[in-house]
Chain A
Amino acid sequence: DARVTQTPRHKVTEMGQEVTMRCQPILGHNTVFWYRQTMMQGLELLAYFRNRAPLDDSGMPKDRFSAEMPDATLATLKIQPSEPRDSAVYFCASGFVGLAGYNEQFFGPGTRLTVL
């Protein structure tokens, strides 16, 4: 049963601390997305990768957020330093985009981040 996995599932930290979230996409998928969801803003796209190369990270506050994909089985999202306004659920999603353009995305369980 292929699934996107994310760790940690919950994270409580203090303002100013570094937070690292990890995602393992579904094997064979070539595109990975990072989203943030809050009640006020809904689902926001932060960054995404194709074949491990960043395609767009314009949705991220670049001064504190960074996203990388060190290998095909791991994507990371880091926040340094974290702020209370970063409190949200962060989702990773993966999909396969080929020549036909079909692009279903499958979401991981999310990391619920609370910054005190």
Chain B
Amino acid sequence: QKEVEQNSGPLSVPEGAIASLNCTYSDRGSQSFFWYRQYSGKSPELIMSIYSNGDKEDGRFTAQLNKASQYVSLLIRDSQPSDSATYLCAVNILRSSNTGKLIFGQGTTLQVKP
């Protein structure tokens, strides 16, 4: 089992819809969780951080964390074609919690169709 798992997609949604991206992790003691967006040919860009159970909203983005079920998700409301990118989930697992090391998933490719 991979430490951080994501469905590679592509996930295709129509413009204006809600895109839901999911990530599961294996280390129950994981401390902090991040979503990065990566456009083709560009570097990963941090878009959300979440540290506590529940929801965290930032504009059209909502991160959801459920430590008991060991998953973290990213919702994108009112999806736009400009949201088309690969979304990487990253987790700071317990054994690396004091080093800052993140474990990245393989990424989910999102396609928003006009």
Bound: A106/B45 CA distance, A: 7
Q: How many residues of A contact B (CB 8 A)?
A: 22
Q: Is B88 an interface residue (CB 8 A)?
A: yes
CB pair B32 A102 closer than 8 Å: yes
Q: Which of B70-114 contact A (CB under 8 A)?
A: 88, 90, 92, 97-102, 104, 106-107
Residues from 79 to 116 in A contacting B, C-beta threshold 8 Å: 91, 95, 97, 101-110
Q: Is B43 in contact with A48, judged by CB distance below 8 angstroms?
A: no
**Residue B7, interface by CB 8 Å:** no
| Contact (A101, B44) CB under 8 Å given A42-B104, A43-B88, A43-B104 | no
B contact residues, range: 20 to 34
A104→B46 contact, CB < 8 A: yes
A102 touches B51 (CB 8 A): yes
Task: Specify which chain A residues have a CB less than 8 angstroms from the CB of B106 in the assembled complex.
Answer: 42
Enumerate chain B residues within 8 angstroms of A42, measured Cβ to Cβ. 104, 106-107
Chain A interface, DSSP helix/strand/loop, else mixed? strand
Chain A residues with CB below 8 A from B46, complex form: 104-107
Question: Is the C-beta of B31 less than 8 angstroms from some C-beta in chain A?
Answer: yes
What is the minimal beta-carbon distance from B45 to any residue of chain A, in angstroms? Answer: 7
- The answer on a CB contact under 8 Å between A108 and B43 is yes
Known contacts: A101-B32, A104-B46, A107-B44. The answer to whether A50 contacts B51 by CB under 8 A is: no
In the complex, B66 has a CB within 8 A of chain A: no
Using CB atoms and an 8 Å cutoff, list the residues of chain B in contact with chain A: 31-32, 34, 36, 42-46, 49, 51, 88, 90, 92, 97-102, 104, 106-107
Could you jot down 7 A-B contacts, CB within 8 Å?
A31-B100, A48-B99, A55-B99, A101-B92, A104-B46, A105-B34, A107-B46
